[in-house]
């Protein structure tokens, strides 16, 4: 029969062992400040004009505005969504969606809004569990604004 002191010691050991392998979780504000730092590591990254985290209709949203160059448009969209997925996976409470506003450098081109499901986008960019066709068809929606 295990005595109470041995039981408490055993429980403390399990608690310490599991907490040593737990991921660090960050607040929404910390996640929002990590995004520009992520972009500053790459000189080809688009310029960020706005970063914010907000709630809408009971969903938690990570919002990012970037300036895009029409020559590298597709790569800049994917880079921004990849950065959002990489950083947001460490949030204390997971995001429901990502909103990316792509502001064109030319006045002749129309700005676009990309809305992506967060879980699906993280699975595509970080864990490689979702194929490109499925991600494009089921996870993102692009609208002109």
Residue 65's CATH number: 3.30.70
Of 102, 97, 110, 107, residue with least CA distance to 62: 97
Q: Which residues pair with 61 in a beta bridge?
A: 54, 97
Judge whether 1 lies within some domain: no
Of 112, 73, 118, 120, residue with least CA distance to 93: 118
Number of domains in the chain: 1
| pLDDT > 80? residue 3 | no
**134, 72, 69, 51: CA torsion to nearest 10:** 50
Judge whether 69 lies within some domain: yes
Share of the chain above pLDDT 90, in %: 40
Average pLDDT score over residue span 42-53:
89
- Residues whose CB falls within 8 Å of the CB of residue 41, separated by 6 or more in sequence, listed in order: none
Q: Which residues pair with 141 in a beta bridge?
A: 115
Global confidence as pTM: 0.77
| pLDDT > 70? residue 2 | no
Whole-number pLDDT of residue 22: 59
| pLDDT > 80? residue 1 | no
Share of the chain above pLDDT 70, in %: 89
Q: Which residues pair with 63 in a beta bridge?
A: 52, 99
| pLDDT > 60? residue 20 | no
DSSP β-ladder status, 47-56 and 59-68: antiparallel
Domain coverage including residue 100: 24-144
């Amino acid at each position: 029969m295990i005595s109470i002191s041995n039981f408490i010691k055993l429980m403390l050991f399990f608690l310490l062992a599991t907490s040593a392998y737990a991921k660090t979780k960050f607040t929404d504000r910390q996640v929002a400040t990590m995004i520009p730092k992520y972009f500053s590591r790459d000189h080809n990254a688009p310029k960020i004009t706005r970063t914010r985290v907000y709630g809408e209709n009971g969903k938690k949203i990570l919002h990012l505005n970037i300036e895009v160059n029409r020559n590298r448009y597709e790569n800049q969209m994917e880079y921004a969504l990849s950065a959002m997925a990489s950083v947001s996976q460490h949030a204390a409470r997971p995001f429901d969606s990502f909103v990316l506003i792509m502001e064109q450098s030319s006045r002749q081109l129309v700005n676009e809004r990309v809305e992506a499901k967060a879980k699906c986008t993280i699975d595509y960019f970080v864990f490689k569990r979702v194929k490109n066709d499925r991600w494009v068809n089921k996870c993102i929606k692009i609208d002109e604004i």
